[in-house]
Amino acid sequence: MTVHEVEPFNAEPPRSALATSELTPVDAFYSRNHGPVPDVDARTWRLRVDGLVSTPLSLSLDDLRDRFAERTETATLQCAGNRREGLAAVRDIPGEAPWGPTATATASWTGVALADVLAAAGVQDAATDVEFLGADVSDQADPPQEFGGSVPLRKAGMPEVLLAWAMNGEALPAVHGAPLRVVVPGYIGARSVKWVHRVRVTDAPSSNFFQASTYRLLPPDAEVTATPGEGVELGLVAVNSDFLAPDDGSEVPAGPTRVSGYAFAGGDRTVVRVDVSADGGATWTQADLAEQASTWAWRHWHASVEVPQGDVELLARAWDSSAALQPERPEQVWNPKGYVNNSWARLRLHGV
Ligand code: MTE
Ligand code: MO
């Protein structure tokens, strides 16, 4: 793992660790934290469901297992800061980790549908949003605050949104949110709140620091302040892709070379095409796309490209089912917090 920060713990795996299987092994799954990993006792832990509901609930893990049907969904998580490195190369982004292309990963998540829990609580007519609060306290907010965020009620009511206690069939590790985390497929990773202990039904988007003041897209010339409501709230993940093999900077035999990577689009959009170029974008080869494990999962892809003698920069770009194409250059999407770098993927190889 490349450890960007020890406390809070922030780390991403080498590209190769994501290349071999559609489901990312748990020990290769990136970790993104804003405070210390909380020590939660699963026996005394309860999930409170309150706010605009007719029957507030307090549920133990056994209650969740006993009262609701178990569901498993394969979903990709992608941090809004994934690939920030490419933006930081354009212009400095102080105070934010220079994430490479692997602050994203895919797991099969097991738990219960949030929709079923909301139905048991009875959502009132005035409700518009559902907020999640985690047990970790982050001093990145002033004063320090629990990590939280919300999604629109219409998303919260979809069957793919889970309260999950397992990933890839194993009990959720502490660093990934044990005993319970939210999984909001198609949304930026920040909405998949770990160590969730409260689900609050509301009539407005969350005023939590990590939604109202950060994870927002500011115009390039904006100053970074913590004023709530500035810029645009991030939600659905934009179409994105990157290379997974070979590694950046590798020496390879000149000639036809197999390259592979991932592509992902949020919301209920899917990846429909990936192009790869070895001549700066003059000509493109369409990559072969692997079957998608679910609507909510990335697509692995591979292609054979002609690598010349010497240095070459390969390009990759994905299209989604709304015909959106990744923008060409990081300069075009640069923003002061370094979110959503979905510019074309670039990989340097040296043909020998
Ligand atoms: N939940 C809590 N409680 N605290 C956090 O710091 N980080 C979020 C989200 N959920 C976070 C959280 C962010 S920004 C991302 S990208 C994902 O968790 C990362 O999940 P992972 O660490 O399991 O990969
Ligand atoms: Mo994130």
* Residue 237, both tokens: 């993940």
pLDDT in tens, 32-47: 999 999 999 999 999 9
Nearest atom of ligand 1 to the alpha carbon of 135? 3
Positive or negative torsion for Cα 17, 18, 22, 26: positive
160 CA distance to ligand 1 middle (Å) = 18
Q: How far is CA 223 from CA 139, 210, 226, 238, 336, in A?
A: 21, 18, 10, 24, 7
Residue type, 256: P
Query: Please, are residues 238 and 217 in contact by the beta-carbon 8 Å criterion?
Result: no
Distance between CA 11 and CA 5 in Å, rounded? 7
pLDDT in tens, 70-123: 999 999 999 999 999 999 999 999 999 999 999 999 999 999 999 999 999 999
Our mutation pick for probing the ligand 1 site, out of 147, 150, 168, 195, counting the most ligand atoms within 8 A of Cβ, is: 147
* Residue 112, both tokens: 């219960």
134-155 average pLDDT score:
97
Query: Please, are residues 194 and 162 in contact by the beta-carbon 8 Å criterion?
Result: no
pLDDT in tens, 204-217: 999 999 999 999 99
Distance between CA 40 and CA 180 in Å, rounded? 10
Query: Please, are residues 149 and 190 in contact by the beta-carbon 8 Å criterion?
Result: yes
* Residue 27, both tokens: 């020990």
Rg (CA), the chain: 20
Q: Is 191 in the pocket of ligand 1 (CB under 6 A)?
A: no
Distance between CA 265 and CA 114 in Å, rounded? 22
225 CA distance to ligand 2 middle (Å) = 19
Of 349, 332, 350, the closest CA to residue 341 belongs to 332
Q: Is 106 in the pocket of ligand 1 (CB under 6 A)?
A: no
How many percent of the chain have pLDDT more than 70? 100
Interface ipTM: 1.00
Q: Is 134 in the pocket of ligand 1 (CB under 6 A)?
A: yes
Q: Is 31 in the pocket of ligand 1 (CB under 6 A)?
A: yes
Question: Domains of the chain by range and CATH?
Answer: 2-233 (3.90.420.10), 240-351 (2.60.40.650)
* Residue 344, both tokens: 């074309």
Q: Is 190 in the pocket of ligand 1 (CB under 6 A)?
A: yes
- Backbone φ and ψ for 159, nearest 5 degrees, come out as -65, -20
- What pLDDT is attached to residue 49? 99
Average pLDDT value for the chain:
97
